[in-house]
Amino acid sequence: MSDKKIIYKTAKDIPLNAMSIESMLYNKTGAWRNIRPVLDYENCINCMICWKFCPDMAIYIKDDKPVINYDYCKGCGICAEECPKKCISLIEEAR
Amino acid sequence: MKLTIPQEELVTSGHLACQGCGGALCMRYALKALGKNTIVDIPACCWSVIDGPFPHSSLRIPLFHTAFETAASVASGIRAGLDALGKKDINVLAWAGDGGTFDIGIQALSGAVERNDDIIYICYDNEAYMNTGIQRSSATPYGAWTTTTPVKHFKKMAKKDMVKIMAAHRIPYTATSSVAYPEDFIKKVEKAKKIKGTKFIHILSPCPPGWKSQPEDTIKLARLAVSTCIFPIYEVENGEKYTINKVIKNPRPVKEYLGRQGRFRHLKEKDIEQIQENVIESYRELLKKANIEEEIHIKEG
Amino acid sequence: MKQVIMGNHALSYGAMLSRVQVIAAYPITPQTQVVELLSEICADKRLDAEFVKVESEHSALAASMGASAVGARVFTATSSQGLALMHEIIHWTVGARLPIVLGNINRAMGPPWSIWTEQNDSLSERDTGCIQFYAQNNQEVLDTVIQAFKVSERVFLPSMVILDAFVLSHTSELVDVPEQKLVDEYLPPFAPKYKLDVNEPHTFGGLTGPDGYYELRYKINEAMEEAKEVIKETGKEFGEKFGREYGLVEAYRMDDAETVLVTSATIASTARVAIDELRKEGKKVGLLRVRVFRPFPSEEIRELLSGRKKVALIDRNISFGHGGIFAQEIKSALYNYKDTPPIWGYIIGLGGRDVTVNDIKGIINDTIESDKPEKDIIWKGVRL
């Protein structure tokens, strides 16, 4: 799986039917954001509820801590809403 | 740190779901329960687009996109093909929205259930034809605005009870769940995986654009739907044995759920009272089926 | 081994000998015997196949798609209303490039209810991209099912093996049922490169914008063009193995024919007798039977019809508002070319009305005696 976008040039290159050969990782949905979640690691208890409820798998676990992947985070705010310690703040996305 | 659901992801980021999409989470959880050894067919629904354009896909299992009304029939065919080829240990998942399940796809579903074909059918219910722009389906609840049930003619028919229909087929296993309870949903999908025959799981999947709700409220709404008894979480085995997974003795008032969604904003006091009455009555009936004797008192405030 | 079997059973035996692995079909008159015999054959293990008792034709072809997509060889059968109900999924099967073989009994569309033969049902599927074979006798029905699998699995397009209702479906004829061993040598197991496979996951049929769809359509047509050669090749191979060769068309007494009768299916069978009788009278007539309608054998048609004096074309179908469908197709194949004869387009036998040797002789004689075709549609046998 790579984050390459596939573009077919001619009919010869296209497969027999509309068959997928690559993931959607090329599509950096982080560009959709208007608000950005920011995690306060001081108060985070590593419960992973934010990881659990992210519809875009944009929070991953590293060294037992949740990390937000801003390449794909769409800024829906579910993580901030569900965090039991309220340690995710939503701030205006800088443009 | 102890995770309450499996860690491996079989759905990648970059998919095209709206911000806060319940449907994206439903698929994420379902595949955590089913694992890599699964083949899925998806009829026309939001997931036809969420998956991504050719030649890309956000799923890491084989997926066959199919025509709107054929979720269950294609799944039956996939199972027959796998059986014929001697590959009997692969999970076959039919993944459809409420449109493709309650309405146009109901014939194929009824056929598959009647034949007891060994498939898992999961309906992620966002309560309208969302992919085509929020038109009503028979899963749209009483009172909701949709583009085909505009405010002056909001939906007057009650939501179709799909699980009741499945139970009437004497399906081996049918259940409801809500995207706010991934542990419950995953447990049910894992249970279904082990049963031979047709299994139907109905999961409530809030949709911010369609419900006119805030994207961050998706899980909250999915939780309120259960705590108000609007969408009870239960299982039915062989059409007879009812198990209520969460008995709500003190349901929250429905206006807490309805008030957070723009699609119910036009409802008057008397409409909300009617909905409140209907919800409690239905819940009492459900408790009876499960042989549960409990007094239901709505939580105040 | 020679057996007396009805057309429907010829389809069943064809599917059995082709070692189909999944059958999903819904009964409809006059197809029911196809699935009944297949049910029996599966139950007593003469055929090791999964039989899905679907609840409609739409589900029949949908289930067939699911099974074919995982790599199983699939057969289904239907007729008129059922074929019409499958229409959406026939398009889907073509787009998904799944080599399903479908037996269709040509039956008139209702209302009013009719169970007798007419070709409108299969011809309504003309533009879907499904290969179409029109059989003239039960031997050909059985043989064509086996060839259809070989062709479809080469070009990855579904095939329809078509026979007339009652005239063939319920008529018993002497058929040489090939040996399983020989069929196995001719038709290897289905082994597609791309399928639904948990070890190599792909998504099939995802959203495709204008920047990709066009080429995929081009590829379908390319496959149809390739099918012409593949059909001829596999038909020749069939001849070498089983003693009966098949092609896109069949020419009968055409060498010095001045007036040619072009037709298909059982009318062609009957026409042979008419041709023989007219030849005895000294008339220079010949018969061109169109066996494969899609892909349309334009090259063969041009070659065989150019230089002839007159062509009489018999259609047991009609495209309302234009005329017989084979007539339109033949005319369009000849249009930009030189040396093309005038074509008389006749319509006869709709709704199963009997077409006799005398009817056909009458049609050919009318053609010989008139200077040019007066109308686009010449109705024969309609009580006006």
Which three-class secondary structure state does DSSP give residue C177?
Answer: coil
Instruction: Using the structure block, give the residue that is written with the tokens 């387009």.
Output: C345
CA nearest neighbour of B241 among B207, B291, B181: B291
Tell me how close the Cα of C228 comes to any Cα of chain A, in angstroms.
18
Output phi, psi for C39, to 5 deg: -60, -50
Which two tokens mark C174? 């002497």
Give pLDDT, residue C133.
98
Using the Cβ of C68 and the Cβ atoms of chain B, whether some distance falls under 8 Å is answered with: yes
Confidence of residue A8 (pLDDT cuts 50, 70, 90): confident
Measured CA to CA, the distance from residue B226 to residue B208 in angstroms comes to: 18
Measured CA to CA, the distance from residue C228 to residue C231 in angstroms comes to: 5
C149, C19 contact by CB (below 8 A) = no
Confidence of residue B299 (pLDDT cuts 50, 70, 90): confident
pLDDT digits (tens, 9 = 90+) for B167-224: 999 999 999 999 999 999 999 999 999 999 999 999 999 999 999 999 999 999 999 9
Q: What kind and span of H or E run contains C228? A: helix C210-242
Domain ranges of chain B: 22-289
User: Testing the interface with B: which of A1, A17, A20 to mutate, by most B Cβ within 10 A?
Assistant: A20
Instruction: Using the structure block, give the residue that is written with the tokens 């191979």.
Output: C237
Chain A touching partners, 3 or more CB pairs below 8 A: B, C
Quick one: angle between helices C138-155 and C210-242, nearest 10?
A: 140
Of all residues in chain C, the percent with pLDDT exceeding 70 is 100
Give pLDDT, residue A54.
98
Measured CA to CA, the distance from residue C298 to residue C368 in angstroms comes to: 24
Please state the rounded mean pLDDT for residues C111-130. 97
Which residues, other chains included, contact C113 with Cβ-Cβ below 8 Å and sequence gap of 6+? none
Please provide the average confidence, as pLDDT, over all residues in chain C. 97
Which two tokens mark C58? 């739409």
pLDDT digits (tens, 9 = 90+) for B113-158: 999 999 999 999 999 999 999 999 999 999 999 999 999 999 999 9
**Would you say the ipTM is above 0.90?**
yes
Which residues, other chains included, contact C96 with Cβ-Cβ below 8 Å and sequence gap of 6+? A17, B64, C65, C69, C204, C205
Longest pairwise C-alpha distance within chain A:
56
Domain ranges of chain C: 2-242, 249-379
DSSP class of residue B11 equals: B
pTM above 0.90, yes or no: yes
Among A8, A16, A21, select the one facing C212 at the smallest CB separation. A8
Q: Do domains C2-242 and C249-379 have the same CATH topology?
A: yes
Tell me how close the Cα of A2 comes to any Cα of chain C, in angstroms.
15
Which two tokens mark B41? 């067919």
Of all residues in chain B, the percent with pLDDT exceeding 90 is 96
DSSP class of residue B129 equals: B
User: Testing the interface with B: which of C19, C20, C52 to mutate, by most B Cβ within 10 A?
Assistant: C52
pLDDT exceeds 70 at position C268: yes
Give pLDDT, residue C371.
94
Measured CA to CA, the distance from residue A13 to residue B209 in angstroms comes to: 38
Domains of chain A with bracketed CATH: 29-92 (3.30.70.20)
Give pLDDT, residue A11.
87
pLDDT exceeds 90 at position A1: no
Please state the rounded mean pLDDT for residues A28-43. 96
pLDDT exceeds 70 at position B24: yes
pLDDT digits (tens, 9 = 90+) for A53-63: 999 999 999 99
Using the Cβ of C215 and the Cβ atoms of chain B, whether some distance falls under 8 Å is answered with: no
C306, C335 contact by CB (below 8 A) = no
Helices then strands, counting H and E runs in chain A, come out as: 2, 4
User: Testing the interface with C: which of B54, B89, B92, B115 to mutate, by most C Cβ within 10 A?
Assistant: B54
All residues of chain A having their beta carbon less than 8 Å from the beta carbon of residue C202 are 19-21
Which two tokens mark B151? 């405010």
Measured CA to CA, the distance from residue C277 to residue C274 in angstroms comes to: 5
Which two tokens mark C47? 């055929």
Please state the rounded mean pLDDT for residues A43-49. 96
Measured CA to CA, the distance from residue C260 to residue C286 in angstroms comes to: 5
CATH fold label, C2-242: Rossmann fold (3.40.50)
Q: How many residues does chain C have?
A: 384
A24 contacts B19? CB cut-off 8 A = no
Q: Which residues pair with C252 in a beta bridge?
A: C287
Confidence of residue A94 (pLDDT cuts 50, 70, 90): confident
pLDDT exceeds 90 at position A3: no
Confidence of residue B278 (pLDDT cuts 50, 70, 90): very high
Give pLDDT, residue C303.
95
CATH number corresponding to B22-289: 3.40.50.970
Please provide the average confidence, as pLDDT, over all residues in chain B. 96
Give pLDDT, residue C211.
87
CATH fold label, C249-379: Rossmann fold (3.40.50)
In a 13 Å sphere around the CA of C299, the CA atoms on its Cβ side amount to 7
Give pLDDT, residue B2.
86
CA C179-C183-C185 angle, to 5 degrees, is 120
Which two tokens mark B106? 């109901």
Q: How many other β-carbons are positioned within 10 Å of the β-carbon of residue C55?
A: 20
pLDDT exceeds 70 at position B301: no
pLDDT digits (tens, 9 = 90+) for C15-67: 999 999 999 999 999 999 999 999 999 999 999 999 999 999 999 999 999 99
Q: What kind and span of H or E run contains B194? A: helix B182-194
All residues of chain A having their beta carbon less than 8 Å from the beta carbon of residue C220 are none
pLDDT digits (tens, 9 = 90+) for C326-362: 999 999 999 999 889 999 999 999 999 999 999 999 9
